[in-house]
Amino acid sequence: MTKPKNVQVALTFDYDAMSVWIGGLGPNSPCAMSRGEFGPQGVRRILALLKEHEIRATFFVPGHTALAFPKTVEDIAAAGHEIGHHGWVHENPAALTADQERHVLEKGFEALEKVVGIRPRGYRSPGWENSVNTIPLLVEYGFNYESSLMGSEYSPYWCRIGDEWSPTEPWKWGKPVDLVELPVSWMLDDFLYFEYVPLPNGYLPGGHSPRAVLQTWIDEFDYLYEKVGEGIFIPTMHPQVTGRGARMFMLEGLIRHIAGKPGVTFTTCNDYVDQWRIGKTPSLPVDAAPAE
Ligand SMILES: [Zn+2]
């Protein structure tokens, strides 16, 4: 007899709006801002689809977005979805000093507190670019989890402080800390597939077919479901990307493919982490060399 499946799905939406363009991705122009301005329209479509399927999801919201579009952020919270921290204005933490990173973390908290009265338990770094100061700060501020790293695919793991690396010395494992990593993947991020972005040294082409990307995501889910059998599936979408036109068919198709399979449930990131933590304490990955 085969083991029953135990797969959970956390749909995540990074509500970047204008902040992703102000914070340094691509051009800083009125046209770029207008791409972010579409965000609330995408949010409304996504909220309606989630309601139709009775799914609770997780929205990572920069403080800047909460102040620009408070009504939609209130709507997200009122519908029972989780709201996570996603920086102040989508600044790259790896380009900040520790003091600057603390400052933008607090500005993000203040904006979400002001708009929806929520203090997030989860964090996702803008652009998935943690600095060496990010994990210590998140631990200090009492976060439950963060979702920006890629050291695993379907299994959460404990974050670490103090990993050391250099071209000449052996890798040194840091200390596992009381912060859970919910791993992400560029393969499961809508932005790279769809968005044309001029960059200083080239461009992101975007323009993929939503049907082709849907098939890629279904294949990724099926590998987890059929071959691994347990874990969490975490696609990352953006209202200004997936919320536009035919791309919504992709999200709907993904939900239809996943929903109703035996042993599969939708969850929020924070609910999943609370459940995963039971009976566990911070530890190194199983493959890590033992401490000397
Ligand atoms: Zn983002």
The domain limits of the chain are 6-277
Q: How far is the CA of 191 from the centre of ligand 1 (A)?
A: 9
Q: At a CB cut-off of 8 Å and minimum separation 6, what does 220 contact?
A: 185, 187, 188, 233
Q: How far is the CA of 206 from the centre of ligand 1 (A)?
A: 17
Q: How far is the CA of 19 from the centre of ligand 1 (A)?
A: 8
Q: How far is the CA of 25 from the centre of ligand 1 (A)?
A: 10
Q: How far is the CA of 20 from the centre of ligand 1 (A)?
A: 6
d(CA 148, CA 157): 12
For residue 291, what pLDDT is reported?
65
Strands 202-204 and 197-199: antiparallel
Q: How far is the CA of 86 from the centre of ligand 1 (A)?
A: 7
Q: How far is the CA of 259 from the centre of ligand 1 (A)?
A: 26
Fold entry, domain 6-277: TIM Barrel (3.20.20)
d(CA 143, CA 269): 12
* Count of CA atoms in the C-beta half-sphere (13 A) of 34: 3
For residue 233, what pLDDT is reported?
98
Q: How far is the CA of 14 from the centre of ligand 1 (A)?
A: 5
Q: How far is the CA of 39 from the centre of ligand 1 (A)?
A: 12
Q: How far is the CA of 272 from the centre of ligand 1 (A)?
A: 21
Q: How far is the CA of 237 from the centre of ligand 1 (A)?
A: 9
Tokens at 130, concatenated:
């943690």
d(CA 85, CA 87): 6
Per-residue pLDDT of the chain (292 residues; tens, 9 = 90+): 678 999 999 999 999 999 999 998 888 899 999 999 999 999 999 999 999 999 999 999 999 999 999 999 999 999 999 999 999 999 999 999 999 999 999 999 999 999 999 999 999 999 999 999 999 999 999 999 999 999 999 999 999 999 999 999 999 999 999 999 999 999 999 999 999 998 888 889 999 999 999 999 999 999 999 999 999 999 999 999 999 999 999 999 999 999 989 999 999 999 999 999 999 999 999 999 876 6
Q: How far is the CA of 165 from the centre of ligand 1 (A)?
A: 27
Q: How far is the CA of 58 from the centre of ligand 1 (A)?
A: 13
Q: Which amino acid, one-letter code, is at 37?
A: E
Report the candidate in 160, 162, 180 with the shortest Cα–Cα distance to residue 284. Answer: 160
Q: How far is the CA of 168 from the centre of ligand 1 (A)?
A: 34
For residue 47, what pLDDT is reported?
98
Q: How far is the CA of 126 from the centre of ligand 1 (A)?
A: 5
For residue 202, what pLDDT is reported?
87
For residue 292, what pLDDT is reported?
62
